[in-house]
Structure 1
Amino acid sequence: MSDKKTERRDFLFTASYAVGAVGAAAVVWPLIDQMNPDASVKALASTEVDISSVKRGNTITVLWRGKPVFIRRRTEEEIKEARSVKMEDLIHPEKDEDRAKNPEWLVMLGVCTHLGCVPLNDKGDYDGWFCPCHGSHYDTSGRIRKGPAPLNMEVPKYEFVNANTIKIG
């Protein structure tokens, strides 16, 4: 008879623990779930940009997550120039092919990697971008070539939705 009491007692302990665990999870879940971002924040996580009106050699600037994003439709000359640069000439070596999924389009954050200023387009010693704050020069691929900036301008995650639309984020 003592075996029966032991089995019953074990079952009651196990059932009590299971009910307690489910109750604790029911209390904790809303606390964890409220830390997820709301719909307005999720909407800012990505943006689609119509690029159909951008002509070769022009750059548009769009905002994504509160930061400027440069989208440049490069000319054949700019692409050739960016691809002909020797890696040993770069402060932060990165191939143009790795920075631009489609050679015609360059998508990058428009933020200088030195102190976060917004560089000027079609300026500087390398016909790319120039940051007037402290004199950083970027080439036609957004790579740092001269000045105090330590890194190339960042390329965000992006994809071509179709021939006229880029999704950033």
Structure 2
Amino acid sequence: MKNTSKDKKPVRRDFLFTASYAVGAVGVGAVVWPLIDQMNPDASVKALASTEVDVSALKPGNTITVLWRGKPVFIRRRTKIDIESARKVNLNELKHPEKDEDRVKKDEWLVMIGICTHLGCVPLGDKGEYGGWFCPCHGSHYDTSGRIRKGPAPTNLEIPKYEFVGTNVIRIG
């Protein structure tokens, strides 16, 4: 009578092979896990992931600068004139066309990263030909919506991820 694979009974050797593979897999996992886990950000990086800013003291027409992830963030409480001038702009005149409505969550508040998109300088507020920001290093002019209007900067000032968590509190990040 011939032994077929159906008739084959497990032997001790099969158990030893299976047990060895299982122990080996656990060992590989124990070695690899710390290598993968060390790539996660540490607590100081996670703490910088978001910041909350109370803007209740900010009067219309004023701007504050806060740090988020080591970058300056401009928060401007715009006046009705700022909003109207930003909305009147013909998008065909812009290097990087973007509607003002798409750059803000509430008309009155403009939140953007204060780093010039040309070479990373920090623009000056309430300066330049368009009443917004001016980068004196290379002459980029931004309007009251942070859009590039003149100069070498290729794109508008970046809008970070943010939300209003109260009537006077903005969470950035």
TM surpasses 0.5: yes
Q: How does 1:100-111 map to 2 (within 5 A)?
A: 100-111=104-115
Alpha-carbon separation, structure 2, partners of 1:9 and 1:150 = 69
**4+ residue segments displaced more than 2 Å:** 7-16
Q: How does 1:63-102 map to 2 (within 5 A)?
A: 63-102=67-106
CA-to-aligned-CA distance 1:100-142 (integer Å, 9 cap, x gap): 1111100001111111111111111110001111111000000
SS in 1 for 2:8: helix
Alignment partner of 1:20 is 2:21: no
Alpha-carbon separation, structure 1, partners of 2:53 and 2:157 = 20
Among candidates 4, 7, 15, match of residue 9 of structure 2: 4
Alpha-carbon separation, structure 1, partners of 2:141 and 2:124 = 10
Structure 1 residue 19: Cα displacement = 2.4
- Give the CA RMSD over aligned residues: 1.6
Alignment partner of 1:44 is 2:48: yes
- Number of matched residues? 168
Alpha-carbon separation, structure 2, partners of 1:74 and 1:14 = 70
Alpha-carbon separation, structure 2, partners of 1:80 and 1:10 = 80
When residues 9 and 78 of structure 1 are mapped into structure 2, their CA distance, relative to the original with a 3 A threshold, is same
In structure 2, what residue type is equivalent to 1:124? G
Among candidates 144, 156, 162, match of residue 158 of structure 1: 162
In structure 1, the gaps of 5 or more residues are: none
Alignment partner of 1:57 is 2:61: yes
Among candidates 19, 31, 37, match of residue 33 of structure 1: 37
Alpha-carbon separation, structure 1, partners of 2:123 and 2:78 = 17
Q: Please say which structure displays the higher CA radius of gyration.
A: 2
Structure 1 residue 8: Cα displacement = 5.3
SS in 2 for 1:4: coil
TM-score if structure 1 supplies the norm length?
Answer: 0.93
SS in 2 for 1:162: coil
In structure 2, the gaps of 5 or more residues are: none
SS in 1 for 2:17: helix
In structure 2, what residue type is equivalent to 1:50? D
CA-to-aligned-CA distance 1:61-92 (integer Å, 9 cap, x gap): 01111111100000111111111211111000
SS in 1 for 2:9: helix
Alpha-carbon separation, structure 2, partners of 1:80 and 1:15 = 74
Identity of aligned residues (%): 78
In structure 2, what residue type is equivalent to 1:87? L
Alpha-carbon separation, structure 2, partners of 1:105 and 1:73 = 5
TM-score if structure 2 supplies the norm length?
Answer: 0.91
